[in-house]
Structures are given as C-alpha cells and as structure tokens.
Chain A
Amino acid sequence: MKKSLLDELSPLTETSFYILLSLYQPLHGYGIMQQVEKMSDGRVLLGAGTLYGALSKLEKLGAIFYCGEDPENPRRKIYQISADGKRLIESETERIEKLARVACETLLRFSEGGR
C-alpha cells in the first residue's frame, strides 16, 4: 500500500506537494486554494479543475482522507493528510534537500574555482 502510493505520486508535482502541505490541517477545497496561494507567496494559483482532479486522485491513493463536510456549507468536503501522505512528504522533502545540498555545493565549488 505504502509502496504503491510512493510509486504513483513520486516525484511529487508542485501542485500535489502544495496541496498535501496545506492539508496538515483539515481544509475544504477553497481553503486549500487560499492556503496554497499564501504558502507560495501568490505564485501558485490552483485552477478549480486542477484542484478537484488532484483531490480525487490523492484520496483514491490514500494520501489524504475525507473527514466530513463543512457544517456551514454541506457542499464543501473537508480533507486531511493521512499517515501515508505524511511519509510521502517526508521522503520527498529528503530527496529535495539532498538535491538542494548538491546544487549548493556545486555552485560554491565552481564560484571559488572561477576566482
């Protein structure tokens, strides 16, 4: 289960990465849009169709789970990240950290060599 989830979603697209990060707290679709916009300093604006599709896929693969509807608006479904989803974020963050480290080292080495 955990392995197939990683296979299907890794490497995470920027869209899925931000959606999963926003769901460390329970949120409905519109809340996710606003949260992602804030987290990315207004750079990532999720299209409604893109978000709807991403939520269906992440739920089907078990990375997020449905935790009920908004009591004020029953059309709004609330989601949250699952334990598998958190593991996925952790391993992806490790991968990106390593990538960033290698990139920094390379940049540093070549800028020193250039002097």
Chain B
Amino acid sequence: MSERNVKTVRKVFFAWNEEAEARWLQQMALQGWHLEEVFIFTYRFVRGKPGDFVYRFDFRPMKNRKELEEYVGLFEDAGWQYVASLSSWHYFRREKTGEGCDEIFSDNRSKLEKYRRLQLTMLVTSNAALISPLYLLVIANHQPIIWILFAFMMSLDIILLYAILRITKLIRSLKKDLKE
C-alpha cells in the first residue's frame, strides 16, 4: 500500500454558501475522493471509484439517537446515502442517475424552514454566548487573563452575530421567492 487512501482537508465554508461546499464535494468525488467524516472546517475523504455524486445538507436538531435513525432511514429509503453529521448538520449524497429527486427539498417552503431552524439555534446560542463573557467580568474583575478571555469570547460573538445577519438575509430572499 504505497498509495494513501485517506486524506484530510481543511476548508472553510459557511451556511450561506453551501452551494459552493456541495460543488466542491462533488468535484472531490469526481476525482475519487468520497467524504467520510466532517469536523469543524475539516473534511476527511476516503479514496474510491470516481463518480458523479450530488451532496446535500439539512439542518435539524435531533432529540435522541432513535429520532436520528428514523430520520436517516427515510432519506435512505428515498435513495440518499447518509454520510455524517456535524452537530445538527446532516450530510447526504446520491449518485447522479437522472432518476428520482436530486434535491432533499421539493418546495421552497421547506427550504426556508431549514434556515429558520438554523436561525433559531443561532439566536439561542448567541444569547448564551453574550451572557457568559459578561458573567466572567462580574465574578473575577481586574485580572488580565479574564480580559484576554473576555476579548476572545467577544470576538466569537461578533462572528456569530455576523452569521445570524447573513442567514436572516438569506431567509428574506427565500421569502421573496415564495411570494412570486
């Protein structure tokens, strides 16, 4: 085995340009690299037969393992292969055959609802993320390490708030499509 059969690639994609992420994963599959596991901004591929695969992502918080299994089962029945999950993001793929539906959402309304779920989760997270650095200041004041931690947490909050803004913009444009 001189050839490497697994490779890990670091790449940054955000929820508002997941078409680019899907295109990239499709390109990788055309070269015989199939996604196996997803981490934050990190993708692990295994080498296989090159093929034309469509990748799609859903965002859906799951209550428990059983719920996830039933959810995945429905996608598999419909011809999708479950790849991996990253928190509440679920990655699916299917080989392009011209048969069946290449989209996991067949109407604009359900597509919009996916981003609403994402927006809600982000809003809840941002609330917690905004309160905890302030709490940090209250419990231990005037220590330099606390200020460094505080600055770090606040910069994470700024990124999160920017992400919420982008998702809200996306929802607004999808809503416009729904009315037309």
Known interface pairs A15-B107, A15-B109; 13 further A-B residue pairs with C-beta atoms within 8 A, sorted by A's residue number: A15-B106, A33-B77, A45-B100, A45-B106, A47-B101, A47-B106, A47-B110, A49-B75, A49-B110, A49-B114, A50-B107, A75-B73, A76-B73
**Which residues of B sit under 8 angstroms from A49, Cβ to Cβ?**
56, 58, 75, 104-105, 110, 114
CB-contacts of B55-114 with A (<8 A): 56, 58, 60, 69-75, 77-78, 80, 92, 100-101, 103-107, 109-110, 113-114
B: residues with CB less than 8 A from A are 56, 58, 60, 69-75, 77-78, 80, 92, 100-101, 103-107, 109-110, 113-114
Contact for B104 among A13, A29, A50, A54, CB less than 8 A: A50
| Complex contacts, A77 vs chain B, CB 8 Å | 70
Contact B113 A51 (CB under 8 A): no
A47 touching B103, Cβ below 8 Å: yes
Q: Are B107 and A30 in contact (CB-based, < 8 A)?
A: no
Which residue of the partner chain, among B70, B72, B104, B113, contacts A47 with CB atoms under 8 Å? B104
Q: Among B56, B72, B78, which residue has the most Cβ atoms of chain A within 10 A?
A: B78
| Interface core residue of A13, A30, A44 (most chain B CB under 10 Å) | A30
B71 lies within 8 A of A52 (CB): yes
A73 to B76, CA, bound (A): 12
Task: Identify the interface centre among B70, B71, B110, B114: most chain A CB within 10 Å of its CB.
Answer: B110
Q: Tell me which residues across on chain B come within 8 A of A33, comparing CB atoms.
A: 77-78
Interface contact A50-B73, CB-CB below 8 Å: no
Interface contact A51-B74, CB-CB below 8 Å? yes
A98 CA to B78 CA, complexed, in Å: 36
With A30-B78, A45-B106 known as contacts, the answer to whether A53 contacts B71 (CB < 8 A) is: no
CA distance A73 to B69 in the complex (A): 11
CA distance A15 to B110 in the complex (A): 10
Is A21 among interface residues, defined by CB-CB distance under 8 A?
no
Q: Are A47 and B74 in contact (CB under 8 A)?
A: no
**Chain B residue at minimal CB-CB distance from A14:** B107
A50/B106 in contact, CB under 8 A? yes
A52 touches B74 (CB 8 A): yes
